[in-house]
Amino acid sequence: MPTRKKFEVSAEDLHIILAKLEQLHHVRDLNTLLDALLTESRHMAHADAGSIFLAEGEFLKFSYVQNDTLFRNDFLSNKYIYSNQTVSIDLTSLAGYVAKTGESLLIDDAYAIDSQKPYTFNATFDDISQYRTTSMLIVPLTTSKNERLGVLELINRINDQGEAIPFSEYEKNLVALFAFYASVAIERALLLRNVVHKMLKMTQIRDPEETQPHVERVGAYAVEIYQRWAERHKVPHDEIVTFRDVLSTAAMLHDIGKVGIADRILQKNGPLSEEEYEQMKWHVIYGAEFFRNPHSEWDSLAYEITLNHHEKWDGTGYPGIGRNDPLTIDNRAGKKGNSIPLSARIVALADVYDALISKRPYKDPWEEDRVLHHIRGQAGKHFDPEIVEIFFEIYDIIRAIRSKWEK
Ligand code: C2E
Ligand code: SIN
Ligand code: SIN
Ligand code: SIN
Ligand code: FE
Ligand code: FE
């Protein structure tokens, strides 16, 4: 008698899985990785939609969603990623059941689940979005030590006629096997995120306003602005994925150089004197010092951003030097226009938006209208006009990010 179900997967599919995993293992940023994992799993199982929940304590946090019917052309960028929905890890919900028991579930019709089952389908998302969930395939994501990471949920297996039909047992095995191996990459992405959070803690201990929510927001705004910029400029898909991957983390570290600034300046409750402001400007140099000898694309981008995020489009920013110059401040020679790296042009806007809309020790939050008016007025002066245009195009996403990390 068989005691344990074996995964029966064809040699051909196994080959495909190995090739996909090889790609996944180059990705370090968590969101990029979740996006790739979901794309590949949906493809294998012909699913119209899917989402990923990550475990945090006794809850599952809705972390990623894709849906070809609802947002067909919206690769990665959508405001649903930034929703704060959570699900308890218990037997009453589908995702909770899978996380709790470690079993995969195949549901043929979400609206006709046997009432004897401990779980029920939560139709909230369908109700909000006017989407109709029918078939579902839900698999656990666990670490190699069998600790729970989260849940991968695929929705509506689509046939050649475009109808939603049940997922097969075979597709369940295929996706479960893929998810099992992909978990290693997720674990590693979580580890890198943890290291970056620890680096950021160094500044946060000294500068209480440089909070985790602030850096999360700046990282997320930057990635979404880049996404739209890259689509406009017809950047190849793979390149977009790679750049997003490094940009999100590097943008979060833009002010890491504030660790080098004296407390009396960093924590000052009012306006800086001219001399103090000159001292403060050195945070871009101290930040760049961290990443001066690049070991990876990630270091190079962090260097660009830390050094150049206070440059201005019209050339009136600081520090006005390049990689081959001695690292110092040249108040006469700000970089100008496109000679400021794209990454820094994006982070400049993301950072100022967040500084203005938030409270700082030295200023109250501005009204949203005032902030937007200011940003519009600085197109072509402080900011790259195209980046300003994109910012307004995606402003609903910017808002969704702000409300996710409100504080
Ligand atoms: P931060 O607080 O992250 O601010 C980032 C940028 O947002 C600033 O860069 C500036 O371009 C913009 N910004 C912030 N507040 C205002 C404002 O009230 N009005 C306008 N028009 N723009 C604003 P900047 O000026 O290069 O400053 C860099 C950093 O220096 C700031 O980072 C902050 O840590 C510090 N800082 C700047 N001004 C003051 C100040 O008056 N008092 C104190 N204590 N710190 C300041
Ligand atoms: C397909 O969409 O792959 C064909 C339809 C089916 O297998 O049910
Ligand atoms: C990474 O690339 O994994 C981040 C650490 C680094 O190389 O600086
Ligand atoms: C402000 O309202 O003080 C600034 C508006 C702007 O700079 O355009
Ligand atoms: Fe800064
Ligand atoms: Fe900042």
DSSP SS3 for 114: coil
Ligand 2 shell residues, CB under 6 Å:
46, 159-160, 165
pLDDT above 90 coverage of the chain, percent: 54
Place of tokens 């010092």: 289
Mutate which of 25, 191, 194, 296 for ligand 3? The one with the most ligand atoms within 8 Å of its CB, which is 296
Nearest ligand 2 atom, CA 165: 8
Place of tokens 């197109």: 379
Does residue 1 have a pLDDT over 60? no
Q: Which two tokens stand for residue 220?
A: 């997320």
Instruction: Tell me: cis bond preceding 319? Omega within 30 of 0 counts.
Output: yes
Q: Which two tokens stand for residue 86?
A: 């959570």
DSSP SS3 for 16: helix
- The pLDDT score that the predictor gives to residue 82 is 57
400 Cα–ligand 4 center, Å = 24
Quick one: which of 188, 309, 187, 194 has its CA closest to 249?
194
Does residue 77 have a pLDDT over 50? no
Ligand nearest to the CA of 44: 2
Nearest ligand 1 atom, CA 258: 34
Does residue 398 have a pLDDT over 80? yes
Query: Which residues make up the environment of ion ligand 6, defined by Cβ < 5 Å?
Result: 255, 351
DSSP SS3 for 18: helix
The tens digit of pLDDT for each residue in 32-57 reads 788 889 999 999 999 999 999 999 88
In angstroms, rounded to a whole number, what is the distance separating the alpha carbons of residues 100 and 245?
A: 30
Of the pLDDT bands very low, low, confident and very high (cuts 50, 70, 90), residue 23 is confident
The tens digit of pLDDT for each residue in 145-186 reads 788 899 999 999 999 999 999 999 999 999 999 998 888 888
Quick one: which of 223, 203, 221 has its CA closest to 212?
203
Non-local (6+) Cβ contacts of 351 within 8 A are: 218, 254, 255, 309
Burial of 288 from C-beta contacts in 10 A (0-12 / 13-18 / 19+): buried
Which one is catalytic: 172, 258, 312, 335?
258
- The pLDDT score that the predictor gives to residue 75 is 43
Delineate the domains of the chain, giving CATH numbers in brackets. 11-189 (3.30.450.40), 207-404 (1.10.3210.10)
Query: Mean of the pLDDT values across residues 325-348?
Result: 89
Query: Mean of the pLDDT values across residues 336-351?
Result: 97
In angstroms, rounded to a whole number, what is the distance separating the alpha carbons of residues 135 and 110?
A: 6
Query: Has 61 been annotated as catalytic?
Result: no
320 Cα–ligand 5 center, Å = 14
In angstroms, rounded to a whole number, what is the distance separating the alpha carbons of residues 378 and 85?
A: 36
Using CA of residue 338, residue 343, residue 349, residue 352, what is the dihedral sign?
negative
Does residue 342 have a pLDDT over 80? yes
Does residue 319 have a pLDDT over 90? yes
- The pLDDT score that the predictor gives to residue 6 is 58
- The pLDDT score that the predictor gives to residue 286 is 92
Ligand 1 shell residues, CB under 6 Å:
268, 271-272, 280, 310, 351-352, 355-356, 360-363
- The pLDDT score that the predictor gives to residue 324 is 64
DSSP letters of 315-345?
S--S----TTS-S---TT----GGGS-HHHH
Give Cα 69 to chain centroid, integer Å.
Answer: 22
How many CB atoms sit inside 10 A of residue 84's CB?
11
State residue 376 phi and psi, 5-degree precision. -60, -45
Query: Mean of the pLDDT values across residues 218-229?
Result: 94
Cα end-to-end distance, the chain, whole Å = 57
Angle between helices 11-24 and 30-45 (to 10 degrees): 160
168 Cα–ligand 2 center, Å = 10
Q: Which two tokens stand for residue 27?
A: 């990705």
How many CB atoms sit inside 10 A of residue 75's CB?
16
82 Cα–ligand 4 center, Å = 29
Long-range contacts from 332-340, C-beta under 8 angstroms, 24+ separation: 335/308, 335/311, 337/313, 337/384, 340/308, 340/311, 340/313, 340/384
Phi-psi region of 179 (alpha: psi -120 to 50; beta: other; left: phi over 0): alpha
In angstroms, rounded to a whole number, what is the distance separating the alpha carbons of residues 399 and 393?
A: 12
Residues in the chain: 407
On the CB side of 405, how many CA atoms lie within 13 Å of its CA?
19
- The pLDDT score that the predictor gives to residue 251 is 94
Say yes or no: CB of residue 377 within 6 Å of ligand 4: yes
Q: Under a CB-based contact definition with an 8 Å cutoff, are residues 255 and 219 in contact?
A: no
Say yes or no: CB of residue 376 within 6 Å of ligand 4: no
Ligand nearest to the CA of 192: 3
Does residue 83 have a pLDDT over 70? no
- The pLDDT score that the predictor gives to residue 234 is 96
Does residue 351 have a pLDDT over 60? yes
- The pLDDT score that the predictor gives to residue 391 is 98
